[in-house]
Amino acid sequence: MIPGEVITIDGPAGSGKSTISRALARMLGFLYLDTGAMYRSVALAAKRYGVGKNDREGLSTLCKCIPLSFGTSRLPPVILLGGEDISAAIRSPEMDLLSSDISAVPEVREAMRDLQRKIAQGRDVVAEGRDMATVVFPSARHKFFLTATPEMRAQRRYAERLSRGESTDRDTVVRQLVQRDRQDETRQIAPLRPAREALIIDTTSMTINEVLDEITSKLRDKGLEILRAAAK
Ligand code: DC
């Protein structure tokens, strides 16, 4: 049983969930829990410490021992491995795929699930990921699943990469996105899928504000007090 208000936002890559989750957390003054960043950090640590993506025992030990710290006071949160800020390093195309690979390992999922629940304990949280509503916070009162066409999601990812000054081509971005989706949707444990009670929002032709409006109006309908107060 986890006290505090939990809003879950799940969905595939490029569905807009990070932008929306951050904006919502900022608007409500909730903690933003970026669980994708956690899997990415484990992936980066595995690479640095030479632990293979199929080495379940090694990954399990890594999850217990790595000196990771997830900041909760800034948006986007700062992530430290040892004393090093790895917030940018975890966003490379290599970590896109490696994080997806290691996220299929049961020991890694178990460790992340426990850590996510521990961080959220007693707090109001916007939790973003793939299995927030289905596995980690199944009793959350507010569940959203964002989606968009593969073309639009790839286009967003491509634009994001260009804006970071990375040289890439659109076909590579599309291929990697499709591969990652397939992996995340077909893995044995906690595959990417909407919870039965989640509101599915197709963001393909919506602006950020339109998505936020839809979510906040749902939250208001369901009696999220903080929004009721803000609307007065
Ligand atoms: O949201 P993201 O792209 O930063 O996530 C990176 C990978 O981490 C994603 O391909 C699958 C995995 N992931 C997961 O399995 N469960 C989560 N709750 C969040 C991310």
* Residue numbers of the domain that contains 127: 6-221
Residues constituting the chain: 232
Look at residue 133 and tell me if it is in a domain. Answer: yes
> In whole angstroms, what is the distance from residue 179 CA to residue 100 CA?
10
147 lines ligand 1 (CB under 6 A): no
> In whole angstroms, what is the distance from residue 102 CA to residue 161 CA?
23
Report the pLDDT value the prediction gives residue 141, as an integer from 0 to 100: 92
How deeply is 205 buried, as exposed, middle or buried, from its count of CB atoms within 10 A (0-12, 13-18, 19+)? exposed
87 lines ligand 1 (CB under 6 A): no
Whether the per-residue pLDDT at 231 is higher than 80: the answer is no
Report the pLDDT value the prediction gives residue 227, as an integer from 0 to 100: 61
Look at residue 226 and tell me if it is in a domain. Answer: no
Average pLDDT rounded to a whole number, residues 54-58? 97
Confidence of residue 165 (pLDDT cuts 50, 70, 90): confident
Containing 7, the helix (H) or strand (E) segment is strand 6-10
Q: Long-range contacts made by residues 81-85, C-beta under 8 angstroms, separation at least 24?
A: 81/41, 81/44, 81/45, 81/48
From the list 11, 2, 5, 6, the residue with the least C-alpha distance to 211 is 11
Report the pLDDT value the prediction gives residue 90, as an integer from 0 to 100: 95
> In whole angstroms, what is the distance from residue 122 CA to residue 217 CA?
25
Instruction: Name the domain count of the chain.
Output: 1
Whether the per-residue pLDDT at 2 is higher than 60: the answer is no
Whether the per-residue pLDDT at 76 is higher than 50: the answer is yes
Average pLDDT rounded to a whole number, residues 163-167? 85
100 lines ligand 1 (CB under 6 A): yes
Average pLDDT rounded to a whole number, residues 198-221? 95
> In whole angstroms, what is the distance from residue 83 CA to residue 206 CA?
39
Look at residue 232 and tell me if it is in a domain. Answer: no
| Average pLDDT value over all residues in the chain | 91
Report the pLDDT value the prediction gives residue 228, as an integer from 0 to 100: 52
With a pLDDT cut of 70, the percent of the chain lying above it is 95
Average pLDDT rounded to a whole number, residues 8-37? 95
Residue bearing tokens 């949280």: 125
Contact 119, 175 (CB under 8 A): no
Q: Which atom of ligand 1 is nearest to the CA of 17?
A: 1
Whether the per-residue pLDDT at 1 is higher than 50: the answer is no
Whether the per-residue pLDDT at 229 is higher than 90: the answer is no
Report the pLDDT value the prediction gives residue 55, as an integer from 0 to 100: 97
Contact 33, 137 (CB under 8 A): no
Contact 134, 195 (CB under 8 A): yes
**DSSP per residue over 64-124, as a string?**
HH--EEE--SSSSPPEEETTEE-TTGGGSHHHHHHHHHHTT-HHHHHHHHHHHHHHHTTS-
180 lines ligand 1 (CB under 6 A): yes
pTM of the model: 0.93
CATH code at position 94: 3.40.50.300
Average pLDDT rounded to a whole number, residues 155-163? 91
Look at residue 170 and tell me if it is in a domain. Answer: yes
Residue bearing tokens 């699930």: 113
Look at residue 1 and tell me if it is in a domain. Answer: no
Query: Residue 2 C-alpha to ligand 1 middle, in angstroms?
Result: 22
Look at residue 229 and tell me if it is in a domain. Answer: no
Report pLDDT digits (tens) over 105-140: 999 999 999 999 999 999 999 999 999 999 999 999
Average pLDDT rounded to a whole number, residues 58-83? 88
Report pLDDT digits (tens) over 171-198: 999 899 999 999 999 999 999 999 999 9
Look at residue 230 and tell me if it is in a domain. Answer: no
Q: Which atom of ligand 1 is nearest to the CA of 95?
A: 6
From the list 138, 143, 147, 118, the residue with the least C-alpha distance to 224 is 143
36 lines ligand 1 (CB under 6 A): yes
Look at residue 51 and tell me if it is in a domain. Answer: yes
Whether the per-residue pLDDT at 84 is higher than 70: the answer is yes
Q: How many CB atoms lie under 10 A from the CB of residue 93?
A: 15
